[in-house]
């Protein structure tokens, strides 16, 4: 959804040279028609295994940082 709304922001909302609200609707419907005709399902490359690895690295980093902070406070 974020990709779609990003396209709406860039293609419909940002060039804000509208004369009225109806023109916004026309432009939005045109984008919707084009998007539905050309876009394909997004193929995720970030797997659950990648997520597990990332979370483990973050956990190690957080633990190491907390230990360093504890040592510094004790000194």
Note down pLDDT in tens along the chain; length 75 residues: 788 889 889 888 887 888 888 999 999 999 999 988 988 887 889 999 999 999 999 999 888 767 666 666 665
Q: What is the pLDDT of residue 75?
A: 59
User: What pLDDT does 40 receive?
Assistant: 82
Phi, psi for 21 (deg, rounded to 5):
-65, -30
Which pair of structure tokens corresponds to residue 64? 């190491």
Question: What is the predicted pLDDT for the residue at 72?
Answer: 67
Sign of CA dihedral 25, 29, 13, 4: positive
Q: So what's the pLDDT on residue 62?
A: 85
Instruction: Tell me if residue 9 falls in helix, strand or coil.
Output: helix
């Amino acid at each position: 959804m974020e990709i779609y709304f990003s396209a709406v922001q860039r293609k419909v909302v940002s060039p804000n040279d509208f004369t009225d609200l109806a023109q916004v609707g026309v432009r939005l419907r045109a984008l919707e028609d084009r998007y539905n005709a050309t876009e394909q399902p997004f193929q995720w490359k970030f797997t659950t295994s990648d997520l597990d690895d990332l979370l483990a690295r973050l956990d190690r980093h957080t633990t190491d940082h907390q230990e360093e902070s504890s040592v510094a406070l004790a000194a």
